[in-house]
Amino acid sequence: MTELEKRIKAKIPGEDTGIEIKHSLCAICSPAFHCGLDCYVKDGKIIKIEGSPDWPGSKGRVCTKGQSNRDYVYRPDRIQTPLKRVGARGEGKFEPISWDEALTIIAEKLNEVKAKYSAHSVAFYSGHCKWYRPILHRLCYSFGSVNFGTDDSTCFKANDIANKLTFGAGAGPNTPKANTFLGWNYGGYYAKHMSVAGVRALKERGGKVIIIDPRHTPAVKNLADLYLQIKPGTDGALALGMGKIIIDNNWIDADYIEKYVHGYEQYKALVQNYPLDKVCAITGLNADDIYEAARIYATNGPATVNFSGCTQTHHINGMQSTRAIHALIAITGNYDRPGGNVPGGVSYLHKNGGFTTREKEFRESLRPHDQLRIGETRFPIWDEYCDEFHAVDLIRQLEEGTPYPVKAFVGLGLNAKMLPESDRLLKAMADNLDFFVDADLFMTHSAKYADIVLPACSSLERGEMKAYEGGFLAYTSPVIEPQFESRSDVEWLCDLARKLDVDDELLKAGYEACCDWIIQDTGLTVADLKKSDMPVKVPTAKPANKPGTYLAGGCKTRSGKIEIYSEAIAAVDAKYGLNPLPDYQDPLYDQNDPEMVEKYPFNMVAGVRLPHTQHSRLHEAPWLRSLRPDPLCEINVEDAKRLGIQENDPVEISSPSGTIYAKAKVTHKFQPGTLMMIHGYTEANVNNLIVSTHLDPYSGYPGFKSARCTIRKYEEA
Ligand SMILES: Nc1nc2c(c(=O)[nH]1)N[C@H]1C(S)=C(S)[C@@H](COP(=O)(O)OP(=O)(O)OC[C@H]3O[C@@H](n4cnc5c(=O)[nH]c(N)nc54)[C@H](O)[C@@H]3O)O[C@H]1N2
Ligand SMILES: Nc1nc2c(c(=O)[nH]1)N[C@H]1C(S)=C(S)[C@@H](COP(=O)(O)OP(=O)(O)OC[C@H]3O[C@@H](n4cnc5c(=O)[nH]c(N)nc54)[C@H](O)[C@@H]3O)O[C@H]1N2
Ligand SMILES: [Mo]
């Protein structure tokens, strides 16, 4: 009996259950997780999902979202066949067509736009899904377009860029060796459930946990020794204020600064502008707590800082605030030190397995250089550090047609709902695109605007390659047949490469051949990986570099040191008005316009995470939707009382860019003046409230977490 058969026997006693347990992975949330699954399959149907105990990383754990995979895969609104639009854009009227017909039309239309305008007028875009990206990215370049873009324009990338500016490398928390965990924007259980065990262990061995979050979450309740309930978007001022306290008390690591830090004297002068009383006024915090946070972080080392996936950078001052937090790490000598923040690499698709692949080469070697990418001239820092167009600038380029028109769009999981002023973006697409194709599992609001809609299958219906920590690579097998006529994206993308007859034999050879090329240095092939239904150990994988080895070789920054003063920012043309030092700016726009302040007195934090939602994907999964059936706008008790709003009252929420409707949820978990909503609902799309010009000039990111709004009780006529 094999190990697997033994497990099935142990789990399901009896002889002929007809149930098989098959391994796969959950691709619903961030690529940093993608937990291993045991899928119970009977008669070709998934009947139950559990965490897979031996899977690297997750080791049997699976969250509420992962548990809902069966509900997700069998959602009744799955797109069943390729579709051709027969109604107006957005109307949702389509007729089924065959895959061959769909791909023929797509190839013809893309070539038409290429001939009439240029290949660059075709934009290729991916939503949150990462697994097919190397193929899509390469197809974009093989076709001749510079415009490959993704949700990176709103997700972790700004963090990554800030890290590269300051440290020249990553800055992940090294919690296992830390004595202090500074949980900046740390929601833990909600968005980063896999990190909680490490923080809990630190606490159990006597370490200190500080959490800085406007919202009182279970992480605060269960883990925090010190909690700072900060006003949203004022983190940069807090960091500079803490820097001043650390310097004034001489808690700095002077030798380390001397050896490794660039711009310390300028920074020391800058923080003089942030005395404690001023910082208290900006952040809404009290002086003792700020002082204590600075003292613990600087004196109870090694200390590590949590950086949120995206929250810190969802403010128009976000990248500078992140760099202001970096400065604390630098002056206390906590970078590249065990228990501090440490550099890390990527093996494949955002995952570090301790080995190298040729992913970057695979996607970038064919990049054209004869045109500017969307957003290139607007966000120079973004452009220097990211090999993608800026999706946030798409709305402008569509509307203005400059520096050249965008005329066709190939979207995989495009969700206008996730970008600012979504309805305006969809209108700009409807009005200006000659052709729009979208592939998705579900008929989304955005897909209704497409000319051709393609049915994609889920991770449980396909095979995909994935890296895991500890030196593992996996190539999964489908657990069930693809539903209806849905297909794996990489299959149809490679078919499209053949139809377009791009000059790229590797892409035309198919996904597995591409994977083999990418992993050629690992000592493994796809055939080797496919022999196992579990991740396979990579022979060339090495243990992670010991902290302390990076700085000695010089940082990968312009000065070779940790740059509090960024030479890369200093090199940007003065017309952009960027500051090489991480100074603070108010997160709300038009702060000096009394009319605006009076009309929109609230600060909306749009897109907080909850355990049962993943962006837009799970709002329609019945089991999870039942946990929160209506889109809710959370409002503080005192504000609600003042405005005569009670729990579950219908409310109207407006900003300078739009109005939406939801129900009120009255809370004491954050301070007055703030509103919070989950994003991704079609019927209450909070991103219609996010002004599309309200952007961080360094990253180009929208101010999702600091948007001017007003709210009132809504009486239906
Ligand atoms: N207000 C606000 N807006 C935000 C954020 C916020 O915090 N606040 N967060 C931002 C962040 S961090 C992110 S990452 C983005 C996420 O934004 P999106 O990437 O738009 O988010 P999802 O809802 O996950 O949408 C992905 C789409 O891909 C589809 N899909 C899933 N699997 C596949 C597949 O295998 N193939 C294909 N073809 N399609 C698939 C899903 O059905 C869904 O429609 O949102 C950003 N927008
Ligand atoms: N359940 C669930 N998990 C997810 C996702 C999801 O949609 N659902 N999305 C995934 C993705 S794509 C991403 S990018 C990551 C995002 O990961 P994170 O950025 O960590 O996500 P959040 O939980 O939104 O934010 C963390 C905490 O920051 C707090 N916060 C909000 N505004 C501020 C502020 O101005 N200052 C401070 N100090 N704190 C603030 C929030 O209240 C929250 O508790 O999450 C990933 N995990
Ligand atoms: Mo994200």
Q: Do 282 and 425 belong to one domain?
A: no
Distance between terminal CA atoms of the chain? 69
Q: 131: CA distance to ligand 3 center in Å?
A: 15
Residue 53 to residue 57: CA distance in whole angstroms? 10
Say if residue 325 is in the same domain as residue 355: no
Kindly report the CATH number assigned to the domain that includes residue 247: 3.40.228.10
| 607 & 624 share domain | yes
Report which protein residue has its CA nearest ligand 1's atom 13: 155
Q: Which ligand is nearest to the CA of 703?
A: 1
Ligand nearest the Cα atom of residue 128: 1
pLDDT digits (tens, 9 = 90+) for 456-505: 999 999 999 999 999 999 999 999 999 999 999 999 999 999 999 999 99
Is position 577 within any domain? no
Question: What's residue 458's pLDDT?
Answer: 97
pLDDT at 9 over 70: no
* Atom 13 of ligand 2, residue of closest alpha carbon: 309
Task: Give nearest CA residue, ligand 2 atom 12.
Answer: 30
The number of distinct structural domains making up the chain is: 4
Spatial neighbors of 249 by CB under 8 A, at least 6 apart, are 294, 295, 298
Quick one: 64 and 97 in the same domain?
A: no
Residues 621 and 513 in one domain: no
Residue nearest to atom 33 of ligand 2 (CA): 232
Hey, CA dihedral for 449, 454, 455, 461, is it positive or negative?
negative
Within a domain: 578: no
Number of neighbouring beta carbons within 10 Å of residue 92: 15
Tell which of 310, 342, 374 closes a domain.
Answer: 342
Please give the pLDDT value at position 30. 84
Residue nearest to atom 3 of ligand 2 (CA): 191
Q: Name the DSSP class of 249.
A: T
pLDDT in tens, 253-275: 999 999 999 999 999 999 999 99
Q: Report the C-alpha gap between 531 and 541 in whole angstroms.
A: 19
Q: Quick one: which atom of ligand 1 is closest to the CA of 609?
A: 7
- Are 369 and 486 contained in the same domain? yes
CA of 290 to the centre of ligand 1 (A): 36
DSSP category for residue 315: S
| Of 126, 185, 282, best ligand 2 pocket probe by most atoms within 8 Å of the beta carbon | 185
Residue 717 scores a pLDDT above 80? no
Answer whether residue 565 shows pLDDT above 70.
yes
Find the largest Cα–Cα distance for the chain.
76
| Residues 118, 139 within the same domain | yes
Q: Which ligand is nearest to the CA of 487?
A: 1
Q: What is the pLDDT of residue 545?
A: 75
Residue 412 CA: which ligand 1 atom is closest? 38
2 has a pLDDT exceeding 80: no
Which of 73, 95, 113 is where one domain is finished?
73
d(CA 597, CA 590): 8
Q: What is the pLDDT of residues 385-432, one digit of tens each?
A: 999 999 999 999 999 999 999 999 999 999 999 999 999 999 999 999
Which pLDDT score, from 0 to 100, does residue 194 have? 87
Which atom in ligand 2 lies closest to the alpha carbon of residue 192? 47
* pTM greater than 0.85 (yes/no): yes
The alpha carbon of residue 454 and the mean position of all alpha carbons in its chain are separated, in whole angstroms, by 24
**Residues 389 and 461 occupy one common structural domain:** yes
| Ligand with minimal distance to 461 CA | 1
H/E/C letters for each residue in 649-687? CEEEEEECCEEEEEEEEEECCCCCCEEEECCCCCCCCHH
- Nearest atom in ligand 2 to the alpha carbon of residue 706 is 35
Q: Where does a domain end: 73, 107, 126?
A: 73
Report the atom number in ligand 2 closest to the C-alpha of 587.
35
From 605, 615, 689, give the residue whose CB has the most ligand 1 atoms within 8 Å, as the site to mutate: 615
Length, in residues, of the chain:
717
* Ligand 2 neighbourhood includes 317 CB (under 6 angstroms): no
> Tokens 């699954």 correspond to what residue?
37
Residue 361 pLDDT: 97
How would residue 115 be classed by pLDDT, with cut points 50, 70 and 90? Answer: very high
CATH of the domain at 662: 2.40.40.20
SS (H, E, C) 151-215: HHHCCCHHHHHHHHHHCCCCCEECHHHCCEEEEECCCCCCCCHHHHHHHHHHHHCCCEEEEECCC
Q: 605 CB less than 6 Å from ligand 2?
A: yes
Domain coverage including residue 641 = 594-713
| CA atoms of 531 and 203, how far apart (whole Å) | 42
Q: What is the pLDDT of residue 147?
A: 98
Question: Is any ligand 2 atom within 6 A of the Cβ of residue 308?
Answer: yes
Q: Which residues of 361-396 are buried (b: 16+ CB within 10 A; e: fewer)?
A: ebbeebebeebebbbbebbbbbbebbebbbbbbbbb
The structure tokens listed for 198 are 């490490």
Which atom of ligand 1 lies nearest, measured to the CA of 690? 1
User: In this structure, are 327 and 424 located in the same domain?
Assistant: no
List the residue whose alpha carbon is closest to atom 16 of ligand 1. 128
pLDDT band at 16; cut points 50, 70, 90: confident
618 lines ligand 2 (CB under 6 A): no
Between CA 558 and CA 10 the distance in angstroms is 58
Q: Which atom of ligand 2 is nearest to the CA of 63?
A: 1
Q: Is the pLDDT of residue 54 over 80?
A: yes
Average pLDDT value for residue range 449-460: 98
CA angle 150/152/156 to nearest 5° reads 160
The partner residues of 603 in beta bridges, in order of sequence, read 674, 708
- Which residues lie closer than 8 Å to 6 by C-beta, 6 or more apart? none
Q: What is the mean pLDDT of residues 120-144?
A: 97
Task: Give the DSSP H or E segment for 267.
Answer: helix 264-271
In a domain, 587, yes or no: no
On whether residue 543 sits in a domain, the answer given is: no
The pLDDT value recorded for residue 344 is 86
Query: Which pLDDT score is estimated for 705?
Result: 97
Residue 314 Cα to ligand 1 midpoint, Å, equals 16
pLDDT, one tens digit per residue, over 518-549 is 999 999 999 999 999 999 999 999 987 788 89
Q: Tell the residue nearest (CA) to atom 43 of ligand 2.
A: 187
Find out whether the beta carbon of 33 lies less than 6 Å from any atom of ligand 2: no
pLDDT grade for 7, boundaries at 50, 70 and 90? low
Instruction: With respect to residue 364, please indicate whether it lies within any of the assigned structural domains.
Output: yes
Is the beta carbon of 310 within 6 A of some atom in ligand 2?
Answer: yes
* pLDDT over threshold 90, residue 592: no
Same domain, 413 and 357: yes
Which residue CA neighbors atom 14 of ligand 1 most closely? 155
The 3-class secondary structure across 558-600, one letter per residue, is CCCCEECCCHHHHCCCHHHCCCCCCCCCCCCCCCCCHHHHHHC
| Predicted local distance difference test score (pLDDT) of residue 14 | 61
Task: Kindly state whether residue 612 falls inside one of the protein's structural domains.
Answer: yes
The pocket of ion ligand 3, defined by CB under 5 A, consists of 155, 310
CA of 81 to the centre of ligand 2 (A): 35
Token pair recorded at residue 105? 């039309």
DSSP-assigned letters across all residues of 21-77: EEEEE--SS-TTT--EEEEEEETTEEEEEEE-TTSTTTTT---HHHHTHHHHHT-TT
State the average pLDDT for the chain.
Answer: 95
Q: Please report the atom of ligand 2 found closest to the CA of residue 311.
A: 19
For the stretch 601-645, pLDDT in tens is 999 999 999 988 999 989 988 889 999 999 999 999 999 999 999
Among candidates 323, 326, 330, 324, which has minimal Cα distance to 255? 330
| pLDDT > 90: percent of the chain | 91
* Higher-confidence position of 350 and 13: 350
Query: Are residues 270 and 411 both part of a single domain?
Result: no
Question: Is residue 58 in some structural domain?
Answer: yes
Name residues contacting ligand 1 (CB within 6 A). 127-129, 151, 154-155, 310, 314, 412-413, 415, 418, 439-442, 444, 456, 489, 606-607, 614-617, 679-680, 686-687, 704
Answer yes or no: is 583 within a domain. no
Instruction: Supply the CATH number for residue 152's domain.
Output: 3.40.50.740
Which ligand minimizes its atom distance to the CA of 443? 1
**Model confidence at 8: pLDDT above 70:** no
Q: Whose CA is nearest to atom 7 of ligand 2?
A: 614
Distance in Å, CA 444 to ligand 1 centroid: 11
Cα 458 to ligand 1 centre (Å): 14
Nearest CA to ligand 1 atom 11: 155
Are residues 141 and 234 both part of a single domain? no
Q: Which mutation among 150, 213, 627, 706 tests ligand 2's pocket best, with the greatest number of atoms within 8 A of CB?
A: 213
Ligand 2 contact, 191 CB (< 6 A): yes
Taking each helix axis from N to C terminus, what angle separates 318-331 and 264-271, rounded to the nearest 10 degrees?
110
Minimum-distance ligand to the CA of 316? 2
Nearest ligand for residue 64 CA: 2
The residue whose CA has the least distance to atom 28 of ligand 1 is 413
Over residues 305-320, mean pLDDT: 96
Q: Is 29 in the pocket of ligand 2 (CB under 6 A)?
A: yes
